[in-house]
Structure 1
Amino acid sequence: MPLKSSTDGVSTLYSSQLYNCWTRLSGYAPDPHKPLFPLTRADWIGYGFAAISLFIAAGGGIGGGGILVPLYILLLGFNTDTAVALSNITIVGGAISNFLFNVGRRHAYFDKPLIDWELILVMEPTTILGALLGGYLNKAIPNWLTTVLLAILLTMLTWKLTCRGFLTWRKETADAQQQCDSEAAQPLLQDGQRDPSAHSHEALNEAFRSNGMSHPIECKPSGRMSVGSVPFSLGSLGNEGAESPGVERSFRAGSHHRRVSLKERISARNSELENTRDSALPVLDTMDEQTTLRTTSAGAEQGSMQPNGQPKSAAGAPEKVSQLRDFGHEPQVPPLKLGILVFMFLCVVASDLGKEHTRCGTWQYWLVVFSILPVILGITFLVREHLVRQYEKRVAAGYEWTEGEVEWTPRNTIVYPLICSMAGLVAGLFGVGGGIVKGPLMLEMGVLPDVAAATSATMIIFTAASASVVYLSFGSIPMDYAVLTFLVGLTFTIIGQAACYWLMRALQRRSVVIFAMALLMVISMVIIYYEAVLSVISSAKEHRLAHFGGICR
């Protein structure tokens, strides 16, 4: 079966036929594609640009399909369908690298994985439903219109993401400057030594050096600070204070609980230590080569701390430290949650394969299409029930949510999946990968940038793998190129991840992740505008500007 027929039920941006537009405008008639070896200059250039794209995409947790497909079309000479398939295989390799890089990392402030598995279980099912509807809208709306609308959407997302990056950068700078000003205002004792009860950044730096942090705070006479000189978990507080005034506040409108900022928790603990001269540091654990704060505001507000920094019991009441600190240790890869995700995507793959063996428009076809609906709705309901129960337990225990945590209230467990379904609709309508929509969406939900990148990259491994299975099942992909593209994705994504992680540690700024997302979206936006121009010109020449298609075509 030719690959074209196998992709009729799959929504992709490149159904707008960039390659066909280009060939019609240039008069170029392609020959059947050559084998991989011997490599030509076009192969070296194409894979060179692909490697650079993957290098940039790795840090932001965005797959990179918006760049890879045009590269494979214009530089390697593949037709649209083969380019989309090879792009998916490349992204699978990159997603595996991202997963291997992130799966062993822990959250910077809580005893749980960096990958937010609960967020994945909330976002993926409804995203699939939205993408299903968006895919059929994609087939009905003219190709040039979807491309133009996508260009406008990418412009808005890129602007929003860039503003958030600069806002987070300024917040990190302000936090670092405040730390320096606090140090400069510390009183000196008669012997010229600083009061150990003050918030000594030298002691903090010593703790960070023991954790592999090599950049101490430097307060200069001019009051200016050196970039990247503040400890990672004090100066880089993620999105705290950098929230979007419109969207993010509306996300949290249903919360009736006061949210404690990361900085506030650290300051509360340090203020309690002013009464002791033998304890100059909050209780810090090292985890994932980052400083992990494990504290509660309960002990700080009671004004009672043990010598080791742990909160004492109040009025003889039993301690709630085990309830308030981490609320249960979460393994790196929760088997049940992973099993649910694998089961769901196996059902998606089975549905996609089944559609190709039934005639479009028949009752058997629609039965196969909607067979996935009970699975997705059932998973969504079970996940919501679990999250609401966890929320009620935390409320009963007096848990206080911190910046960067998603508060799964009964309202939010309905609103967030609905928002994700709209994101899926956008992804299906415009044929873009989920990462380019979900990454910015998670940032708007208040998720820390590195958590959003790791979680988005993990979701991509499921979506790209399911699409690749469909493509490979029909045997129309050149396997020599498929193996090479997979290895390119695997190799350069892990290099890009390591480089972004090193840069984030060197600068002590999480905003680096946001800028990596924004850079990739800028590149994608330029390519999409180019495609939009070609699509409009081609449709105008063929008098197809007002042509609406059907689902079965």
Structure 2
Amino acid sequence: MQRYAVPWFLELKIGWTIIVGSLIAFFGAAFGSAGGVGAGGIFVPMLTLVIGFDAKSSAAISKCMIMGLSAATACFNLRQRHPTLNRPIIDYDLALIVQPMLLLGISIGVTLNVIFANWMVTILLIIAFLGTSTRSFFKGVEMWKKETIKKKESAQHVKSGGGGESSGGEINRSLLGGPSEPHKVSLAENVNWKQLWILVTVWLTFLAIQIVKDFTDTCSLAFWVLNLLQIPVAVGVTLYQAIKLIRRRRVADNLMEDTEDWEVRTPQLIFCALVSLLAGTLGGLLGLGGGFLLGPMFLEMGIIPQVSSATATFVMTFSASICAIEYYLLDRFPVPYATYLTVIAIVASIVGQYVVKKWIARAGRASLIVFILSTIIFASAILLGGEGIVDMIHKIKHNEYMGFEDLCSSGGDEELTRRLAF
């Protein structure tokens, strides 16, 4: 495996393609981090069509950028408090329900990606993206209307003298549901260390399984044993967290306390786990991180946009990092370019979080996050779908085979690692 003896930035060849690609990556990462999606649907077409990387390198570099984006956003959100409840903005309870099933689903999706023909993947991608972006957009419109009504009521209340002189910022904080002066705590107090440790343990377990799988033959006994081993890990952690939440909810109900941002009920937890599994499967199948489905799902559960965005990005940190590590071990991308573009994504995500947070606080509209989410998903559908259609037309013209592939064929190992979609 090649390693660079000189500083990575000396290996870069700066040209107009890198400059344009950097600008696209910056804005894609900034809005993607704010919306709670990884922006892989922006990164991959940019790397392929603008900079000119091949499909394998584009997928690998994109995952590195998503890892940097998600990690930087998660670090930013570790210090943030919930706008309405006295708790962190990252919902660790929800993350523990989502993360194991997401990782399991992605592993299933990667296998299906090898079996399915490219045109099938393209059609599924367009349907999934257009469906989720449309649903998210109408959710944002609904939220916008409610916020407009609240703004008018607050303005009328101030005008009538009911609240005295009140600044626009105080009105906006009221609209967002938060207190006038948010309670501030230290970073150590703002992190749920026990749940974070469980999440890291699950991440390490899945990472170890993926690494060991690289040394086994596809469809061998060891290959299937390692694949099946992921099921008890994911299901066990999800059941543990679900039972814990249900018991805690019963205690809260008896005490007439409202300590959750979403309704903790058995059907709700089952729905969350199944959609997470579906998000992972579609993410692995389509070569994405699953955030395009997690964000809309969180909104459907009634979770406010700020928490939805922070939690979705936090969960994607685990899935994207596994993929980036795997690609690095397989030497699938040029380290200098991946490092440079990852730094761009990190800086952009921090800027995006800061700017959007100020924007929302000033406008008093959390629905802006929902519109960013739907826009990113829709743009990804157009870009990735268009790229897939072009590839499909090329294969039709050259009479290439477009049917199902054999996972256990001689090229299965290479194809499986080539399409690795964590």
Describe how 1:57-456 pairs up with structure 2 within 5 A: 57-183=32-158, 186=160, 200-202=162-164, 205=166, 215=168, 231-236=171-176, 284=179, 286-287=181-182, 331-400=189-258, 405-456=261-312
Residue 547 of structure 1 is matched in structure 2 by 403
Q: List alignment gaps of at least 5 residues for structure 2.
A: 3-8, 413-422
Mapped partners of 2:343, 2:27: distance in 1: 14
Mapped partners of 1:441, 1:478: distance in 2: 35
Please identify the structure whose Cα radius of gyration is greater: 1
8 Å CA contact retained: 1:235, 1:508: yes
8 Å CA contact retained: 1:142, 1:547: yes
Letter in 1 for 2:364: Q
Residue 420 of structure 2 is matched in structure 1 by none
Mapped partners of 1:362, 1:119: distance in 2: 35
Q: Which moved more, 1:498-507 or 1:133-142?
A: 133-142
TM-score of the aligned structures, taking structure 2 as reference length:
0.88
Q: CA deviation at 1:521?
A: 1.6
Q: CA deviation at 1:374?
A: 2.2
Mapped partners of 1:164, 1:72: distance in 2: 31
Mapped partners of 1:86, 1:166: distance in 2: 35
8 Å CA contact retained: 2:78, 2:90: yes
Gap change, CA 1:400 and 1:112, over 3 Å in 2:
closer
For the residue of structure 1 that corresponds to 2:227, the secondary structure is helix
Residue 417 of structure 2 is matched in structure 1 by none
User: What are the Cα deviations for residues 398-447 of structure 1, in whole angstroms up to 9, with x where unaligned?
Assistant: 22578xx2122233333321232222222222222221111111111110
| Residue 383 (structure 2) pairs with residue 538 (structure 1) | no
Q: CA deviation at 1:152?
A: 1.9
Gap change, CA 1:288 and 1:49, over 3 Å in 2:
farther
8 Å CA contact retained: 2:118, 2:402: no
Letter in 2 for 1:166: V
Q: Whose helix fraction is larger, Structure 1's or Structure 2's? A: 2
Mapped partners of 2:316, 2:275: distance in 1: 18
8 Å CA contact retained: 1:113, 1:331: no
Q: CA deviation at 1:332?
A: 1.6
Mapped partners of 2:183, 2:328: distance in 1: 37
Residue 418 of structure 2 is matched in structure 1 by none
Give the % identical residues. 25
8 Å CA contact retained: 1:122, 1:380: yes
8 Å CA contact retained: 1:98, 1:458: yes
Q: List alignment gaps of at least 5 residues for structure 1.
A: 3-33, 187-193, 195-199, 206-213, 217-229, 238-261, 263-283, 290-329
Q: Give RMSD over aligned pairs.
A: 2.3
Task: Determine which structure has greater relative contact order: mean sequence separation of CA pairs < 8 Å that are 6+ residues apart, divided by chain length.
Answer: 2
Mapped partners of 1:518, 1:412: distance in 2: 23
Q: CA deviation at 1:476?
A: 4.0
For this pair of structures, how many residues does the alignment match? 400
Letter in 1 for 2:119: W
Gap change, CA 1:79 and 1:392, over 3 Å in 2:
same
For the residue of structure 2 that corresponds to 1:343, the secondary structure is helix
TM-score of the aligned structures, taking structure 1 as reference length:
0.68
